[in-house]
């Protein structure tokens, strides 16, 4: 089997305080290229916390994470940011597009920060990504001029901008109507199946979870079953 | 093309146009007032120093020594523990010995003009009135090289002394006190008892009452005879092409000739230190204007940081580093400071032009003169530097706060 895009071992995250809160406990998993994994569970079960750990946005209290074979536990914040920039794409429940930037500019941002492409190349790729998600006519529009479904597709285009192997989505359809939700679901699944990306989605939607290659069920911060 | 971080910073500011404009106005006004006030203060200081430099010798050699002369035994045993008590200096005729040779030595230096002066006390008498004055014996042909007294002549001229060595030049205030006029004769009595009658060949008015009441000028030879100090001068005064070289040059002259040599800077040390104090006060006051304006910038950037917490979290999740976020908000401060300076400088220049329209009549000037304004580039550079510094400092705290935000905390809250 190919090397896992992301792999964890005994991942635990606790919040220190008067009463220590355990968000994630002893989570071990591996996601390979082309896999579509859903994380399901009740509210407060630790789904999003696990996703933030997988995306290197949060640091585990204990346990280890390998991203494309590289151990990340000992890396500095800047190095983690570098890994996120080129290796991880995030999609959130609320699209979280930057409101002052057009759809095209939002998609261009990660590429501009990475600096691998020239400005015309960045603009061309951003337009191509938007086009592939059916947003050719919306490129110049500001987020407030887009519908919820359109905004979420722009957010997906932004997540794909630097061609990451790992896509992490936190309730990407939670704020969309049925049609838009189905569209976003199809796009994410296509990314795994047609483009060999590792896609991890946190969802409450049972149908969405049922369509995944693997479902990780969480409860009280622990993985209860797959 | 604008860079990524400046682009984001600019978008943030443009999204809050009204608040950005208000804080920008603060910087514009701050820079303008800073520039106007500091250029006025600097202009008046320059004017004051120019008058000081113009109206006083750049270097004066006096007929005294800075330190008591070493006794022969001290010279012989320079490293010995010697204490010589009750030394009584030799009684000698005051004055600079061999002053013509010293002058010859000085005149070998380029860009330096020197002339001897014998100054002493005398009594000017007319119509039963006696007034004590300082009588300055000078070489008339050299006066204009080392003194600006000619600029203050209101009647007659210094050159007239060359044609008539029995002439004298007085201040107009002294002439008024004695009811004297140009062309009249006046009796001058020296402490030696010698009496000489001089013809008034010129009257000057400097505006300094003490000077106009007490200073008189006559031919050196006549004054030497009157004071019974033939071939003596007690001062050598010098003017330099570059007055700022006076301090260093005076040291060299003193080492070379032994006599106390005083530069204009040393002679006016108290005034110069007063000017320094005045500058500190001035810069403190005008900086306060910019500091207040900086609070406006701080307020705007802090608000942007507060409002943009979610965007900061998104940028960090994309892979922007903490220092990228810090840069975005620091750039906002810099942009406001830069725009404030760019608009404030022409506004300040306008204020400076306005101040120049104000004309005041200063003592010593016959006509009202405009307020002295310093138009040199350092004033503009200092105002810009202060504005940029204040704006940068104002952006620093919110920028650091933004950089330290933990994206997960914000993302959890946002959902």
Q: Do A110 and B11 touch (CB under 8 A)?
A: no
**Distance between B27 CA and the closest CA of chain A, angstroms:** 25
Q: Give the side-chain half-sphere CA count within 13 A for B180.
A: 32
Structure confidence at residue A142 as a pLDDT band (50, 70, 90): very high
Distance from CA of B249 to the nearest CA of A (A): 59
A chain contacts of residue B12, beta-carbon cutoff 8 Å: 100
A95 → chain B, closest CA residue: B314
Residues of A in contact with B304 (CB under 8 A): none
pLDDT over 90, % of chain A: 58
For residue B131, the model assigns a pLDDT of: 94
User: How far is C-alpha B293 from the geometric centre of its chain's CA atoms?
Assistant: 30
What's residue A209's pLDDT? 87
pTM confidence score: 0.71
Indicate yes or no: CB of B314 within 8 angstroms of CB of A110.
Answer: no
Nearest Cβ partner of A96 from B14, B314, B320? B314
At residue B178's C-alpha, the angle toward residues B177 and B182, to 5°, is 110
Which tokens belong to B341? 């300076």
Q: DSSP of A110-132, one letter per residue? A: HHHHHT-S-HHHHHHHHHHHHHH
Nearest to A84 among B313, B317, B415 (CB): B317
d(CA B119, CA B205) in angstroms, rounded, equals 20
- Least confident span in A172-181, A188-197, B41-50, B332-341: A172-181
Q: What are the two backbone dihedrals, phi and then psi, of residue B202, each rounded to the nearest 5 degrees?
A: -165, 150
Of A100, A113, A171, the CB nearest to B318: A113
Query: Distance between CA A110 and CA A156 in Å, rounded?
Result: 12
**Comparing C-alpha atoms, which of B43, B45, B25, B50 is closest to residue B352?**
B43
The shortest CB-CB distance from B414 to any of A52, A81, A94 is to A94
Contacts of B402 (CB under 8 A, 6+ apart): B305, B308, B312, B325, B326, B328, B329
Alpha carbon distance B12, B384 (integer Å): 23
Q: Indicate the DSSP class of residue B152.
A: G
Task: Summarize pLDDT for A61-85 with one digit per residue, the tens.
Answer: 999 999 998 899 889 999 999 999 9
- Contact status, residue B151 vs residue B364, Cβ threshold 8 Å: no
Average pLDDT over residues A18-44: 91
Task: List pLDDT tens digits, range A128-140.
Answer: 999 988 888 899 9
pLDDT of residue B117: 95
Quick check: ipTM above 0.85? yes
CB count in 10 Å sphere of residue A112: 20
Question: CA-CA distance, A121 to B178, in Å (whole number)?
Answer: 94
Q: How many CB atoms are closer than 10 A to CB B305?
A: 24
Rounded Cα distance, B313 and B403, in Å: 10
Nearest CA in chain A to B11: A100
Chain B residue numbers with beta carbons less than 8 Å from the beta carbon of A78 are 321-323
Nearest by CB: A119 against B1, B315, B319? B1
Per-residue pLDDT tens over the stretch A104-114: 999 999 999 99
Instruction: Indicate the DSSP class of residue B69.
Output: P
Residue A109 CA to residue A161 CA, distance in Å, equals: 8
Q: Chain A: give the shortest CA distance to residue B33, in Å.
A: 35
B340 CA to chain A: closest CA distance, Å? Answer: 23
Local confidence pLDDT in tens for the 415 residues of chain B: 578 999 999 998 888 888 888 888 888 998 999 899 989 988 988 888 888 888 889 999 998 887 777 788 888 888 888 888 887 777 667 788 888 999 999 988 888 999 999 999 999 998 888 999 999 999 999 998 999 888 889 999 999 999 999 999 999 999 999 999 999 999 999 998 999 999 999 999 988 888 899 999 999 999 999 999 888 899 999 999 998 899 999 999 998 988 999 999 999 889 888 988 988 998 888 888 878 888 888 888 888 888 888 889 999 999 999 999 999 999 998 999 999 999 999 999 999 999 999 988 766 565 788 888 999 898 899 889 988 998 888 889 999 999 998 988 888 765 4
User: How big is the A-B interface in CB pairs under 8 Å?
Assistant: 75
Is pLDDT above 90 for A52? Answer: yes
pLDDT (0 to 100) of residue A226: 66
Q: Which of A85, A100, A112 sits opposite B4 (nearest CB)?
A: A112
Contacts of A158 in chain B (CB under 8 A): 318
Chain A residues inside the 8 Å CB shell of B4: 109, 112-113
Residue keyed to tokens 């503009």: B380
Under 8 Å CB-to-CB from A133, ≥6 apart: which residues?
A153, A154, A156, A157, A187
Q: What is the C-alpha to C-alpha distance for residues B409 and A76, in angstroms, rounded to an integer?
A: 19
C-alpha distance from A225 to closest chain B C-alpha (Å): 25
B318/A109 touch (CB, cutoff 8 Å), yes or no: yes
Q: How many whole angstroms separate alpha carbon B215 and alpha carbon B231? A: 22
**Interface residues on B facing A, Cβ-Cβ cutoff 8 A:** 1, 4, 8, 11-12, 14-15, 310-311, 313-324, 407-408, 411-412, 414-415
For residue B86, the 8-state DSSP code is: S
Closest CA to B207 of B370, B362, B47: B362
Cα B291 to chain centroid distance, Å, stands at: 27
Residues B302 and B158: their CA atoms lie apart, in Å, by 70
* Residue-level pLDDT at B415: 47
**Residue A100 near chain B (CB below 8 Å):** yes
Q: Which of B311, B411, B415 sits opposite A98 (nearest CB)?
A: B311
Judged by a CB distance cut-off of 8 A, whether residue A119 touches chain B is: yes
Number of other CB atoms surrounding residue B376 within 10 Å = 12
Q: What is the pLDDT of residue B137?
A: 95
Q: In whole angstroms, what is the distance from residue A194 CA to residue A183 CA? A: 16
Do the chains contact at A98 and B318, CB–CB below 8 Å? no
Cβ–Cβ under 8 Å, residues A218 and A26? no
Contact: B414, A110; criterion CB under 8 Å: no
DSSP designation for B408: H
Across the strands, what pairs with B59?
Answer: B238, B263
Residue in B11, B323, B414 closest to A101 by CB: B11
Query: Is-contact B203 B182, C-beta < 8 A?
Result: yes
pLDDT score of A204: 85
Q: Considering only CB atoms, which chain B residues are within 8 Å of A112?
A: 4
Q: Which of A27-36, A217-226, B107-116 has the lowest mean pLDDT?
A: A217-226
Instruction: Find, among B289, B312, B273, the residue nearest to B408 by Cα.
Output: B312
Mark yes or no for CB contact A84/B319 under 8 Å.
Answer: yes
């Amino acid at each position: 089997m190919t090397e896992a895009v992301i792999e964890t071992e005994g991942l635990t995250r606790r919040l220190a305080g008067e009463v220590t809160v355990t968000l994630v406990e002893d989570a071990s998993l591996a996601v390979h290229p082309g896999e579509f994994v859903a994380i399901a569970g009740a509210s407060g079960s630790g789904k999003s916390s696990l996703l933030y750990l997988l995306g290197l946005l949060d640091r585990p209290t204990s346990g280890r994470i390998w991203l494309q074979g590289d151990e990340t536990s000992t890396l500095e914040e800047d190095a983690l940011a570098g890994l996120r920039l080129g290796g991880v794409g995030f999609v959130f429940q609320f699209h979280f597009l930057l409101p002052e930037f057009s759809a095209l500019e939002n998609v261009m941002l990660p590429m501009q920060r990475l600096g691998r492409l020239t400005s015309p190349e960045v603009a061309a790729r951003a337009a191509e990504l938007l086009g592939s998600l059916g947003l050719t006519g919306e490129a110049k529009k500001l987020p407030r001029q887009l519908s919820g479904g359109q905004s979420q597709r722009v957010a997906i285009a932004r997540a794909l901008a630097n061609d990451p192997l790992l896509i992490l989505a936190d309730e990407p359809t939670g704020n969309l109507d049925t049609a838009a939700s189905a569209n976003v679901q199809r796009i994410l699944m296509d990314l795994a199946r047609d483009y060999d990306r590792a896609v991890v989605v946190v969802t409450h939607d049972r149908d969405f979870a049922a369509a995944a290659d693997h479902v990780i069920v969480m409860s009280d911060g622990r993985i209860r079953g797959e | 093309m604008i860079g990524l971080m400046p682009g984001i910073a600019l978008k943030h500011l443009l999204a809050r146009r009204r608040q950005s404009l208000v804080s920008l106005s603060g910087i514009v006004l701050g820079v303008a007032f800073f520039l106007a006030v500091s250029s006025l203060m600097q202009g008046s200081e320059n004017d004051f120093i120019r008058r000081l430099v113009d109206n006083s010798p750049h270097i004066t050699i006096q007929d005294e020594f800075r330190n008591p002369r070493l006794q022969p035994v001290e010279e012989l045993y320079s490293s010995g523990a010697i204490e010589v008590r009750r030394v009584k200096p030799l009684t000698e005729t005051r004055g600079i010995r061999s002053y013509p040779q010293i002058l010859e030595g000085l005149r070998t230096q380029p860009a330096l003009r020197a002339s001897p002066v014998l100054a002493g006390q005398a009594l000017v008498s007319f119509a039963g009135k006696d007034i004590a004055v300082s009588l300055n014996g000078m070489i008339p042909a050299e006066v204009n090289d080392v003194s600006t007294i000619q600029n203050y002549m209101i009647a007659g001229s210094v050159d007239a002394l060359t044609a008539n060595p029995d002439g004298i030049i007085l201040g107009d205030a002294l002439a008024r006190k004695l009811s004297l006029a140009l062309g009249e004769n006046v009796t001058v009595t020296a402490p030696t008892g010698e009496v000489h009658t001089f013809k008034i060949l010129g009257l000057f008015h400097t505006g300094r009452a003490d000077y106009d009441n007490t200073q008189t000028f006559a031919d050196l030879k006549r004054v030497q005879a009157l004071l019974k100090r033939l071939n003596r001068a007690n001062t050598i005064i010098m003017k330099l092409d570059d007055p700022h070289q006076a301090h260093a040059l005076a040291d060299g002259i003193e080492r070379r000739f032994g006599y106390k040599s005083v530069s204009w800077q040393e002679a006016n040390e108290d005034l110069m230190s007063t000017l320094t104090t005045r500058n500190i006060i001035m810069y403190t006051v005008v900086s306060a204007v910019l500091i207040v304006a900086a609070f406006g910038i701080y307020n705007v950037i802090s608000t942007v940081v507060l409002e943009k917490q979610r965007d900061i979290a998104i940028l960090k999740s994309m892979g922007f580093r903490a220092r990228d976020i810090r840069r975005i908000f620091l750039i906002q401060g810099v942009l406001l400071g830069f725009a404030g300076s760019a608009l404030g400088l022409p506004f300040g220049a306008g204020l400076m032009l306005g101040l120049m329209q104000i004309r005041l009549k200063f003592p010593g000037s016959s006509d009202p003169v405009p307020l002295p304004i310093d138009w040199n580039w350092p004033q503009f550079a200092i105002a810009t530097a202060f504005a940029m510094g204040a704006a940068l400092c104002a952006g620093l705290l919110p920028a650091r706060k933004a950089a330290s935000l933990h994206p997960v905390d914000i993302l959890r809250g946002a959902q």
